[in-house]
């Protein structure tokens, strides 16, 4: 009886298991080292099977806001399609560059309250959230020894220009711990000059680790398991250290929760559809941007010469 039960289970779960472990992981939106390693190894195999250009595989990180909502209850294909169309229309009017959490950005935007009806803010991107038109990001900087954060909607029509000063990634997906870190870790001069990132090269990861200020903190960082913090567990008392290792906080079962992973990720077939739809227009914007860059660089020497 037991044996038959086992066999049945195997038959039932064979396909989905295979799907999750071999197919879905590679294309999931969850970023982790293992997945990246697997991707590099098996890129060639996948290309043969799916005939996806190499660029499209990066698009899920590069243009993450084009993917549907992680909550399946909030998804609707027609709405997402119309949203994507609006997003592309906005992208044809303003250049929205590739950037990640940890990149340093400068945003120029029209402001009714400012004297010249125009404003500029520079800072490090500490979080990027939202899908579709509600995609947003938060910039943080320390000005006159005072920490300041401003959030922007990515597709806000008052944004005139988004400059990427440093294109890089950090070890974590959100950097809210900079609020509890010494101010020098989030201080950037407002007139910082942009460093040009060579087209086609991979984005560097800034592996800087941040010490935290003494307690109290805004959040219980010892429970968060952040890679970018230097040894925050030794700063808390014994009671908090023990509590941080409770299973309810570490959640060791989550890596085996296949359904959770399935719900939060978008399968490769759907991603292929979405990116195939927007590929040509994104490519056009890219070519247009490169062209304008080239003309700009050509003009400069004539002026100086």
Which helix (H) or strand (E) is 192 found in, with range? none
Biggest CA–CA distance in the chain, Å, is: 88
CA–CA dist 212, 179 (Å, integer): 9
CB atoms closer than 10 angstroms to residue 168: 20
> Could you tell me where the beta strands, DSSP code E, fall in 111-176?
118-129, 136-143, 146-153, 159-166
132 vs 228, which CB is nearer to another protein?
Answer: 132
Is 145 a residue that touches another protein (CB under 8 A)? Answer: yes
26 vs 79, which CB is nearer to another protein?
Answer: 79
- Per CB under 8 A, the segment of 131-139, 198-206, 241-249, 263-271 that binds another protein is 131-139
Q: Give the shortest CB-149-to-another protein separation in angstroms.
A: 5
Contact 238, 255 (CB under 8 A): no
175: Cα separation from own chain's centroid: 12
| Collapsed DSSP state (helix, strand, coil) of residue 82 | helix
Scanning residues 254 to 293, which ones bind another protein (CB under 8 A)? none
236 CB-near residues (< 8 Å, 6+ apart):
215, 222, 244
Scanning residues 199 to 238, which ones bind another protein (CB under 8 A)? 215-216
Number of residues that bind another protein (CB under 8 A): 48
Which residue, among 119, 101, 122, 123, has the nearest Cα to 111 in the 3D structure?
119
148 vs 230, which CB is nearer to another protein?
Answer: 148
From 20, 23, 35, 110, residue interacting with another protein (rule: CB under 8 A): 110
Scanning residues 33 to 92, which ones bind another protein (CB under 8 A)? 73-76, 78-79, 82-83, 86-87, 89-90, 92
DSSP states along 27-51: H-S---HHHHHHHHHHHHHHHHHH-
168 vs 180, which CB is nearer to another protein?
Answer: 180
- Per CB under 8 A, the segment of 128-136, 163-171, 194-202, 240-248 that binds another protein is 128-136
Chain contacts with another protein (rule: CB under 8 A): 73-76, 78-79, 82-83, 86-87, 89-90, 92-94, 109-114, 117, 119, 121, 132-134, 136, 143-153, 155-160, 179, 215-216
């Amino acid at each position: 009886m037991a044996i038959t039960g086992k066999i049945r289970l195997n038959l039932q779960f064979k396909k989905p298991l295979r799907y999750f472990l071999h197919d879905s992981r590679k294309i999931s939106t969850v970023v982790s080292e293992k997945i990246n390693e697997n991707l590099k190894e098996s890129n060639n195999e996948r290309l043969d099977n799916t005939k996806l250009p190499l660029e499209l595989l990066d698009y899920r990180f590069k243009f993450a806001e084009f993917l549907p909502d992680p909550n399946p209850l909030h998804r609707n294909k027609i709405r997402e399609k119309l949203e994507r169309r609006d997003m592309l229309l906005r992208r044809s009017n303003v250049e929205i560059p590739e950037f990640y959490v940890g990149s340093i950005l400068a945003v120029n935007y029209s402001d009714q309250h400012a004297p010249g009806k125009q404003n500029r803010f520079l800072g490090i991107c500490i979080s990027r959230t939202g899908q579709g038109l509600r995609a947003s990001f938060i910039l943080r900087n320390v000005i006159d020894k005072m920490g300041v954060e401003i959030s922007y909607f990515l597709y806000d029509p008052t944004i005139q220009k988004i400059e990427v000063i440093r294109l890089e990634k950090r070890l974590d997906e959100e950097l809210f711990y900079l609020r509890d870190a010494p101010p020098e870790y989030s201080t950037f001069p407002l007139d910082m000059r942009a460093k040009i990132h060579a087209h086609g090269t991979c984005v560097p990861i800034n592996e800087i680790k941040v010490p935290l200020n003494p307690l109290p903190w805004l959040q219980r960082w010892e429970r968060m398991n952040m890679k970018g913090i230097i040894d925050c567990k030794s700063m808390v008392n014994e009671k908090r250290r023990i509590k941080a290792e409770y299973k309810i906080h570490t959640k060791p079962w989550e890596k085996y929760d296949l359904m959770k992973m399935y719900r939060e990720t978008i399968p490769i077939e759907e991603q292929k559809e979405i990116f195939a739809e927007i590929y040509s227009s994104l490519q056009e914007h890219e070519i247009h941007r490169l062209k304008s860059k080239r003309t700009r660089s050509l003009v400069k020497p004539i002026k100086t010469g």
